[in-house]
C-alpha cells in the first residue's frame, strides 16, 4: 500500500511517500480502507522527535493520528463491526498510521461514522474531539453553570471544545485573533477575547476551568483567571507526575517529568488551583458519544482546507507554517 513514512526524525524531509506492506490484522482488529485523514500538531511533534520520551516510535513508521474509512476485513474475535461499515477513529498511540491506504486497529478504538458527516468532516474529528471530551468531561468534570476558558478557540481542539462546553451548560470564554471572532461566536462562545488587542488575564475572573492548548506564558497567565479550587487542563504544558505514573514510565523519566512541571505546579498551588497535563487516549466509546452529538446537531466540525493524499507533505507544511485559518486540515484519498 501507499503511505507517508517517517524515515528519520527531524524536518519535513524526514517524511516521504513509500510503498509499504499492508497491515497485519489481529483477532480483535478491523482493517480499514482510509478515505480521509487529518493533520494534527501531534503529527508535527512526532515527526520532529519532540515526543520520543512519551512516544518512542522506531523509524521507519507511518505517520497520521485520525481517520475515516470503510472496514474491509475483521479479525476472528470482532463483534462490533462488519465488512462494509463506515467508521472513524483515533488509533491507539502505539498503532498510528493514518497517512496510508489501509490501517489495522483494535475494534475498541473505532466508532461508526456520524451519518451527517462526509468522510473528510469525520476524519477531522477524532483526535480533537477526544481531547475536548477527556479534558472537559473526564478531567475537569465541567458542570452546568460553571465558567470555562478555552484557549485558541478557532483551532482544532478549540472549535469542538467550545461546542461541547456549551452542551454541558457552561459559560464559555475563548481567545482568538480578531479575524476569528465571528466564527467562535457562531460556535457558542459567550465571551471572546481578541488576544491581539486584549490581555485575557486582566479581563476574566473566577473561572472554574481553563482548557489550555497553547502552553508557555499563556498557561502561566491562565492561573490568574481561576477561582480557588479551579483547574487548568493543558495539552501543551509540561507532563506532570500523574501522567508519568499513568504512562508507566521508569523512575528516571518520572523524575524528569516531575522536574519539568515543578514550576507550573508550584505556581498553581500558590493560586490554590490545580495543574493537570492531558495526553489524549483512543476511545471508541467516547467517539460514539461524540458522534451522537454530531448527528443531533449539537457539534459540527470545522474544516479549513482539504488536500489530496498525494499532497500530504504540502498539508503538513500548511499546518506547520500556521496558514490554517480555523479548524482542521484534511487529506483525502483519491476516488
Q: What backbone phi and psi angles, to 5 degrees, belong to 249?
A: -70, 155
Whole-angstrom CA distances from 242 to 133, 193, 304 are 19, 31, 35
- Widest CA span of the chain, in angstroms? 58
**pLDDT of 247:** 87
CB atoms within 10 A of CB 305: 16
pLDDT at position 334: 75
Which CATH number among 3.30.1330.40, 3.40.50.720, 3.40.50.300, 3.40.50.620 corresponds to the domain 127-277? Answer: 3.40.50.720
Cell of 291: 458522534
Distance from chain centroid for Cα 143 = 22
Pairing type for strands 110-112 and 61-62 reads unpaired
Q: What is the pLDDT of residue 61?
A: 98
Architecture of domain 2-125+301-332: Alpha-Beta Complex (3.90)
Tell me whether the omega of the peptide bond preceding residue 60 falls within 30 degrees of 0, making it cis: yes
* Residue showing cell 460553571: 146
C-alpha cell at 294: 454530531
- For residues 137 and 4, give the distance between their C-alpha atoms in angstroms, rounded to a whole number: 34
**Does 2-125+301-332 match 127-277 in CATH topology?**
no
Residues 102, 33 contacting (CB under 8 angstroms): yes
Look at residue 249 in the predicted model and tell me its pLDDT. Answer: 86
Question: Hey, what's the cell of 149?
Answer: 476558558
DSSP secondary structure code for residue 101 in this structure = S
Burial grade of 206 (CB within 10 A; 0-12, 13-18, 19 or more): exposed
Question: Is residue 282 a contact partner of residue 110, using CB atoms and an 8 Å limit?
Answer: no
| The overall pTM is greater than 0.95 | yes
Domain boundary assignment for the chain: 2-125+301-332, 127-277
Query: Rounded CA gap, 328 and 121, in Å?
Result: 9
One pLDDT digit (tens) per residue for the chain, 335 residues: 999 999 999 999 999 999 999 999 999 999 999 999 999 999 999 999 999 988 999 999 999 999 999 999 999 999 999 999 999 999 999 999 999 999 999 999 999 999 999 999 999 999 999 999 999 999 999 999 999 999 999 999 999 999 999 999 999 999 999 899 999 999 999 999 999 999 999 999 999 999 999 999 999 999 999 999 999 999 999 999 999 888 888 898 899 899 999 999 999 999 999 999 999 999 999 999 999 999 999 999 999 999 999 999 999 999 999 999 999 999 999 76
Q: What is the pLDDT of residue 335?
A: 63
Amino acid at each position: 500500500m501507499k503511505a507517508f513514512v517517517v524515515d528519520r526524525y527531524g524536518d519535513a524531509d524526514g517524511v516521504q511517500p513509500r510503498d509499504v506492506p499492508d497491515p497485519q490484522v489481529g483477532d480483535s482488529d478491523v482493517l480499514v480502507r482510509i478515505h480521509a485523514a487529518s493533520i494534527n500538531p501531534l503529527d508535527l511533534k512526532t515527526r520532529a522527535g519532540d515526543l520520543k520520551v512519551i512516544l518512542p516510535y522506531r523509524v521507519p513508521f507511518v505517520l497520521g493520528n485520525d481517520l475515516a474509512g470503510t472496514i474491509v476485513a475483521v479479525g476472528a474475535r470482532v463483534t462490533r463491526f462488519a465488512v462494509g461499515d463506515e467508521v472513524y477513529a483515533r488509533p491507539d498511540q502505539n498503532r498510528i498510521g493514518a497517512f496510508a491506504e489501509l490501517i489495522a486497529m483494535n475494534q475498541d478504538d473505532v466508532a461508526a461514522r456520524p451519518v451527517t458527516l462526509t468522510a473528510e468532516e469525520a476524519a477531522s474529528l477524532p483526535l480533537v474531539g477526544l481531547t475536548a471530551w477527556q479534558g472537559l468531561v473526564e478531567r475537569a468534570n465541567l458542570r452546568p453553570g460553571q465558567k470555562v476558558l478555552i484557549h485558541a478557540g478557532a483551532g482544532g481542539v478549540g472549535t469542538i471544545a467550545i461546542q461541547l462546553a456549551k452542551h454541558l451548560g457552561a459559560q464559555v470564554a475563548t481567545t482568538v485573533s480578531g479575524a476569528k471572532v465571528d466564527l467562535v461566536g457562531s460556535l457558542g462562545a459567550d465571551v471572546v477575547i481578541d488576544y491581539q488587542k486584549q490581555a485575557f488575564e486582566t479581563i476574566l475572573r473566577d473561572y472554574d476551568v481553563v482548557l489550555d492548548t497553547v502552553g508557555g506564558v499563556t498557561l502561566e497567565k491562565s492561573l490568574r483567571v481561576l477561582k480557588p479550587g479551579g483547574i487548568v487542563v493543558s495539552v501543551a504544558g509540561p507532563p506532570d507526575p500523574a501522567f508519568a505514573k499513568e504512562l508507566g514510565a521508569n523512575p528516571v523519566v518520572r523524575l524528569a517529568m516531575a522536574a519539568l512541571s515543578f514550576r507550573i505546579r508550584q505556581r498553581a498551588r500558590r493560586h490554590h488551583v490545580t495543574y493537570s497535563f492531558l495526553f489524549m487516549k483512543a476511545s471508541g466509546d467516547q467517539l460514539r458519544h461524540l458522534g451522537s452529538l454530531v448527528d443531533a446537531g449539537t457539534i459540527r466540525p470545522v474544516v479549513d482546507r482539504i488536500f489530496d493524499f498525494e499532497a500530504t507533505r504540502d498539508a503538513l507544511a500548511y499546518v506547520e507554517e500556521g496558514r490554517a485559518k480555523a479548524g482542521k486540515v484534511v487529506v483525502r484519498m483519491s476516488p
